[in-house]
Amino acid sequence: MTISSSLNAGISGLSANASALASISDNIANSGTFGYKRVQTDFNSMVMASAGGAYSAGGVRSATTRMIDERGSLVATTNATDLAIGGRGMLPVASLTEVAGGAAEPTMYMTTTGSFNANQDGYLVTDSGLVLLGWPANADGTMPSYPRDTAAGLEPIQYDTNRLQASPTTSIELGINLPSASTETGSAFNVESSLIEFFDGLGNSKNLQVDFTPQAPVAPATSSNEWVMTIEDTDDPGVTIGEYTMAFNATDGSLASVTTTTGGAYNADGTAIITTTAGALEITLGTVGDSTFMSQLAGDYSPVGINKDGAAAGTIKSVEVDNNGFVHANYSSGETRIIYQIPVADMRNPNGMTALDQQTFKPSSESGSYFLWNAGDGPAGEINSYALEESATDVAGELTNMIKTQRAYSSNAKVIQTVDEMLQETTNIKR
């Protein structure tokens, strides 16, 4: 009976608008929740096949969608490990309960923001128990290759602020300008020297004595443009561990040639390996024709471009995350080293992910497979530290939708009331 279908349509309208009100109330309740993604309720009409020209009301059906791809505004904080994605993509996290339980590969969840702090075990974790995941770096701070379509290489980010860490020196770059006037006729041919500190595997400070002796020109030349570099380890005084004759181009002061007398051979890539009391050490002089490292120009002796790796023993004072997702550990020794890289996960349909508690989401068949990008590469946004993402709820819009939903609910209730009165009139035909 057509009038009965009107009753069913009104009931479906009440149910659909009740669902809409539930999503609105959830959105308003979480208007102050960092990283919250609002729920949107859409209505779809249901059409019933008509027979014999009689129309039957199908009613309405509601469907809710969590708008995961919508982003709230970023707000500044004072915590270096408050993180938020500036654009597309999500941070990988895991449950602290699962991590503490010793799971070899904890389940990866995703979130767009989080206030992470080191707990008693050194894990970067939120108050709600989410542990930040990342790829571990090598001991020297370089990043190995990891698979991008699986979470197999990800580990809970953990560090120990009480553990001493030493970093041995493995390479030294000699960025030094030698005064061109020192190799000219009439010069005093003064020896130029530098004491260069380096560190062994225990974090002990050691020194190299590097001397540059200008060579006198051979007549009729007025300048030799040639120097002899000798290297000594101060722990073994009097023993030359490297001696090299360097010639420079008179036209532009670039390196013209390097001849090895003692020590490791000078290589085409501009390096030589010397052996110290602490082990092998790579010295970079620069390639032939280049003046980036060693040069001979007018002016004074200038050892201003000496760079080296390694550091004395020290503990981690703090950690920071840069826009590319690299986690930098700042040591008490003054060294800064990369210890992890946080990737940014992205998939074709973020709104198809399964929503879980604590503003976390899990990939599903509807979202499609994910890919782990470097932050800032491809479609992935950068990772912002000292920032959190606000709720995506627009309170004014939700209150407006509440008014519309209330009116719609009242109207459907009126339909049911009217149908009831019409059915009452029908039963009154026979008294």
Question: Mean pLDDT of successive 10-residue segments in the chain (431 residues)?
Answer: 78 91 94 94 81 75 90 94 94 94 88 95 94 92 92 92 84 96 94 95 92 95 96 94 96 96 95 95 96 94 92 88 94 88 95 92 93 94 96 94 94 90 84 67
369: amino acid identity, one letter: S
> End-to-end distance of the chain based on CA atoms, in angstroms?
22
User: Which fold is adopted by the domain 171-313?
Assistant: Tick-borne Encephalitis virus Glycoprotein; domain 1 (2.60.98)
Structure tokens at 267: 């290589």
Q: What is the pLDDT of residue 33?
A: 93
Q: What is the pLDDT of residue 424?
A: 87
d(CA 390, CA 359): 12
Question: Is 155 within 8 Å of 121 (Cβ atoms)?
Answer: no
d(CA 90, CA 69): 10
d(CA 325, CA 91): 10
Strand positions, DSSP E, 141-290:
155-156, 165-167, 171-173, 177-179, 192-199, 205-214, 226-233, 240-248, 255-262, 271-276, 279-284
Backbone angles phi, psi at 380, to 5 degrees: -75, 140
Question: Is 57 within 8 Å of 6 (Cβ atoms)?
Answer: yes
Q: What is the pLDDT of residue 55?
A: 76
68: amino acid identity, one letter: I
DSSP reduced 3-state for 265: coil
Q: Quick: pLDDT tens for 418-430.
A: 988 888 888 888 7
Give the sheet arrangement for strand 240-248, strand by strand. 192-199, 205-214, 226-233, 240-248, 255-262
Q: Is 39 exposed, middle or buried (0-12, 13-18, 19+ CB in 10 A)?
A: buried
d(CA 196, CA 173): 11
Domain range annotation of the chain: 2-67+392-427, 74-163+315-389, 171-313
Q: Which residues contact 129 (CB under 8 A, 6 or more apart)?
A: 95, 96, 97, 358
Q: What is the pLDDT of residue 163?
A: 79
Beta-sheet pairing, 354-356 with 360-362: antiparallel
Q: Is 431 exposed, middle or buried (0-12, 13-18, 19+ CB in 10 A)?
A: exposed
Structure tokens at 1: 């009976």
